Amino acid sequence: MTKPPNPPYPYPHQRKDLPFSARLIDANMNSSLIVDGSTAPIDYAFVPPDDIVVTELALLFECNGPIEFGDHFINLHGALMNGMQVELQTYGVPVAATFQTTRDLLEYSSPDGFYVGSGGGRHIIKATRRFTQGLVLRDKTADYIKLTIKDDLTSLTYGIASVLGYTA
């Protein structure tokens, strides 16, 4: 019987390229985006617990009424007054791909990263921004992803923002 080869890393915590996912959270450790940020904007953030390569940032919302496009935000009547904003910073430098919208989430998505579905009277919209080269966020630095809600989204039934990637 032959001895199996040694793994490239002797301990699991030393492995690289492990799948990673996390939700953006606010100062109260809440991940729900169903908030009223119209009087005071609410920030949600992801700060890397380790060196992470982010491959996508996804926004998922659910509503009871039909989803509308164009000058509407999901199914709210009309555009948002102040909207929401996504900010990225890597290697201590803000990324030029900062995004802000008051209307259609389709504008946020990568070409293959938009999904609309429905079932049981509920309607789901998922907008994903993919980072094909990977967005490196380093631990113990000023790197982060921040989402700021500047309007009232309490009429929606569900909303989260999540980060997917792998350990660097």
Helix (H/G/I), strand (E/B), else coil: 14: helix
Q: Please, are residues 67 and 123 in contact by the beta-carbon 8 Å criterion?
A: yes
Write out pLDDT tens, residues 37-59: 889 999 999 999 889 999 888 88
Instruction: Look at residue 35 in the predicted model and tell me its pLDDT.
Output: 92
Q: Is 23 exposed, middle or buried (0-12, 13-18, 19+ CB in 10 A)?
A: middle
Q: What is the pLDDT at residue 41?
A: 92
Every domain of the chain and the residues it spans: 24-167
Please say whether the dihedral angle defined by the alpha carbons of residues 102, 104, 105 and 106, taken in this order, is positive or negative.
negative
First to last CA, the chain: 36
CATH number assigned to the domain covering 24-167 = 2.60.120
In the numeric block, which tokens belong to residue 160? 């989260």
| pLDDT at res. 68 | 62
Listed as ranges, residues in the chain with pLDDT below 70 are 1-16, 65-80, 96-121
